[in-house]
Amino acid sequence: MKRRGIDFTSALYLGLHHPSRQLGEWHSLTTGKPAFLYEPEEASEIGKRFGRLQGLATGLISKSSLHLFTDIFKLFDPQKTCIFYDSDIYSVALTGIQLAGMQTYRIIPFSHHCTKTLQVNIQRYCSQGQQALIVTDGYCMKCRKAPPLRHYHQIISQLNGFLIIDDTQSIGLLGTNASGNPPFGKKGGGILKWLNIRSERIITISSLAKAFGVPLAILGGSEKMIQQFQYKSSTRLHNSPPSRVDVLAAWHAYHLNQTVGDRLREKLLKNIRFFQKRTEDLPPSSWAVSPLQTLAFGKISGLLMQYLRDQHGIMTFTTQPHTPSKRTELGLIIRADHRIEELDYTIRALKYFLKNNGQVPAGSYQNLI
Dihedral angle of Cα 114, 117, 118, 121, to the nearest 10 degrees: -170
pLDDT tens, residue by residue, 211-268: 999 999 999 999 999 999 999 999 999 988 999 999 999 999 999 999 999 999 999 9
Domains of the chain, by residue range, sit at 6-13+260-368, 31-242
31-242 in CATH: which number? 3.40.640.10
Confidence band, pLDDT 50/70/90 cuts, at residue 135? very high
Q: pLDDT value at position 367? A: 39
6-13+260-368 in CATH: which number? 3.90.1150.10
Q: Quick one: three-class SS letters along the chain?
A: CCCCCEECCCCCCCCCCCCHHHCCCCCCCCCCCCCCCCCCHHHHHHHHHHHHHCCCCEEEEECCHHHHHHHHHHHCCCCCEEEEEECCCCHHHHHHHHHHHCCCCEEEEECCCCHHHHHHHHHHHCCCCCEEEEEEECCECCCCECCCHHHHHHHHHHCCCEEEEECCCCCCCCCECCCCCCCCCECCCCHHHHHCCCCCCEEEEEECCCCCCCCCEEEEECHHHHHHHHHHCHHHHHCCCCCHHHHHHHHHHHHHHHHHHHHHHHHHHHHHHHHHHHCCCCCECCCCCCCEEEECCHHHHHHHHHHHHHHHCEECEEECCCCCCCCCEEEEECCCCCCHHHHHHHHHHHHHHHHHCCCCCCCCHHHHC
pLDDT tens, residue by residue, 277-319: 999 988 776 668 899 999 988 889 999 999 999 999 999 999 8
pTM, to two decimals: 0.92
> For all residues of the chain together, what is the average pLDDT?
90
pLDDT at 325 over 70: no
What average pLDDT score do residues 139-165 get?
93
Domains 6-13+260-368 and 31-242 in one fold: no
Q: pLDDT value at position 144? A: 87
